[in-house]
Structure 1
C-alpha cells in the first residue's frame, strides 16, 4: 500500500535537530496549514491544522540550517500513525480537552519562502529530497 500527503504552510517555530546514536541527523518542526472560506451567512471562517514534521539525513541538516519560524514550505511525505491509536497522536490540553497531532515523515521539503540574515524575505524554489521512498508495486493496474 502507498500513501502520500502534501502540506503547504508556515513553520510554527524554529526547527530542532538532533543526531541518532549512529550519527544520522533528524530534524523536527511544526507546520500550520490554514483553510479559509465564506460561510452561507457571508462570514469569513478560518480553520488551522497543525502537523509535526520529521525529516531525516542530509535533508534534516539543510532544513535546520535554512528554515526558521514563519518560513513557508511545501512538505510531501507520509502520515506516521500513533502506535497506540493507529491514528493521530492524542494529548490533553491544560483545559482538559483532547488535542490531536498529525505526524508526517517528510520525503521532500520545498522552501517556498525564507528569511535572509537581514530579516528581509525572498521567494525561493529550493527543493531538498531525502532518499526516495521504496514503492510497493501491488496496484492491480
Structure 2
C-alpha cells in the first residue's frame, strides 16, 4: 500500500548514506533522512503550537546520493514529495512490527535556518 505524500519538516539527525551492489551495473545509492513533520497551529499570541507532528524515515534513491550527504544537515527545513510505504518487519524479540516510510521523489531545501549558500562548479559530464 502506498499513497502520495507532500510534507514539510526538519531533519532530525545526520543523513545516512549507503550503497548496494547491483551486479555489474553501478551500485544503487540511498540517502536516508530522519524527518520530523510538524503541524504548526497559530496561537493568539502570534506563536505556534505543534499539534500532531510525527517522525518518519525518508529514503532518497539517486545516483548523486553520496554527494548530497553533505548537503542535507541536521535541523534543516525540507519539503518532501514522494509516497508513503508500509514497511513490515520483526524486532529482536520476533514481534511483528509495522512502520511507514517515505520514498522521496524530491527533497527540497527550504530557506529557514540557512545562514549561507556556496555554489560550486559541476564536474564535466554531470547533470
TM-score band, normalised by shorter chain:
0.5 to 0.7
Q: Choose between structure 1 and 2 for higher RCO, CA contacts under 8 A separated by at least 6 residues.
A: 2
TM-score (norm 1): 0.59
What is the aligned residue count?
Answer: 103
Unaligned segments of structure 1, at least 5 residues: 85-89, 92-98, 124-141
Q: CA RMSD in A?
A: 3.2
Q: Is residue 2:76 matched to residue 1:71?
A: yes
Unaligned segments of structure 2, at least 5 residues: 92-96, 118-127
1:50/1:101 CA distance change after superposition, 3 Å = farther
Matching residue of 1:135: none
Report matched runs for 1:5-20 at 5 Å: 5-20=5-20
- Cα deviation for residue 69 of structure 1 reads 0.2
User: Is the 8 Å Cα contact of residues 2 and 85 (structure 2) preserved in structure 1?
Assistant: no
TM-score (norm 2): 0.65
User: Is the 8 Å Cα contact of residues 29 and 53 (structure 1) preserved in structure 2?
Assistant: yes
Matching residue of 1:34: 38
User: Is the 8 Å Cα contact of residues 16 and 64 (structure 1) preserved in structure 2?
Assistant: yes
